[in-house]
Structure 1
Amino acid sequence: MASKPLTGTKVFLMLVAFFGLVIGVNVTMMKLAIATLPGTDVDSPYAAGLTYDREISAAQDQAARKWKVNAHIERRNDGGALVQVEARDASGQPIAGLKFGGRLERPTDKRADLAVELSEAGIGVYRGNAASVAPGQWDLVIEGEARGTRVFLSRNRVILN
């Protein structure tokens, strides 16, 4: 059986097919990467830089208050989570009348963040529920407000199974 000779047309078609395949795979991988990218962590680095001094001042004010705020989170049987915050002042007295809010943030994907509304369940005790919390690592962010001003901020890594 005689083999067919390798012609310029065949070489050209092989090159086009090879580079077409490589470009096709690259375009597919690029589209998949862009579709799964959660985006930037900060929308405007410039604006975040401007608020940096205010955050430092707020942290110093929070430290000067010497409040003791304990947050506890536990998994419920229905797949949700119960968040409880207990706030005490420097002398150990419960702090009532604050407005606490919480967030469960995914460290790797901001699209999965969950807000948790906390309501005062007793003097200095605030509770809230989060529905359908996936297992894994979360950042529990607790913010406390008094008269429209943030007076407390805490961020803790938690693992929910």
Structure 2
Amino acid sequence: MSAETQKPGGFTGKHMLIVIVSFFAVVIGVNVTMATLAQKSWTGLVVENTYVASQQFNEEARKGRAQAALGWTGKLTVASGEVRYRLVDSQGKPVPLHGVRILFRHPAYEAEDEALTLAAVSGGTPGDTGAFAVRHTPKDGVWIVEIDADAGLTSPFRDVRRIMISNGALR
């Protein structure tokens, strides 16, 4: 009477293998999902020295308040392979500029950052009331754009914004 009989529905080695493979599949799936989400959503806000940045905060805040008091608004367009920028005052009149520099910063990859110097357009010369432009098509995706416009002030008018480029145009 010692015949081995196998009970139906028992936990076998096959079941254990399925449990282990399922466990690792879930862990790997979650890791891939989290890494993908982190790569797509990271803002890239990094400073080289946080202590120095904290010491300069009050001065930067003062400059920001002084700039906001001017009431100027920057007009940025990206379309048809051209990046164009102009500055208008609170009444909508163009502010004369001497030069414009733009830095396209990729939120996650410094290697894709691009610095551009814009030139006066519409037959104008630097310092007139026209717009400034350069032939350039940024890659599609999210960019942090840092614009420094020389309007003859002690420091450049600084315009920083996060933009989305889709099919070579500002969305």
Q: TM-score range by the shorter chain?
A: 0.5 to 0.7
TM superposition shift of 1:98 = 3.1
Which runs of 5 or more residues in structure 1 are unaligned? 1-38, 77-81
Q: Percent identity?
A: 23
Question: How many Å separate the matches in 2 of 1:110 and 1:104?
Answer: 10
Which stretch of the first structure deviates more once superposed, 134-143 or 122-131?
A: 122-131
- Using structure 2 for the length normalisation, give the TM-score: 0.59
Which runs of 5 or more residues in structure 2 are unaligned? 1-43
Tell me the equivalent position of 1:58: 63
Q: Is the 8 A contact 2:97 2:149 kept in 1?
A: no
Change (3 A) 1:40 1:157: closer
Question: How many Å separate the matches in 2 of 1:58 and 1:75?
Answer: 34
Tell me the equivalent position of 1:143: 148
Which structure shows the higher strand fraction?
1
Tell me the equivalent position of 1:89: 89
Tell me the equivalent position of 2:164: 159
Q: Is the 8 A contact 1:94 1:124 kept in 2?
A: yes
TM superposition shift of 1:47 = 1.4
RMSD value, Cα: 2.3
Q: Is the 8 A contact 1:106 1:137 kept in 2?
A: yes
Question: How many Å separate the matches in 2 of 1:75 and 1:136?
Answer: 16
Residue by residue over 1:18-56, the C-alpha shift from the partner in whole angstroms, topping out at 9 and shown as x without a partner, is: xxxxxxxxxxxxxxxxxxxxx982111111112111110
TM superposition shift of 1:157 = 2.0
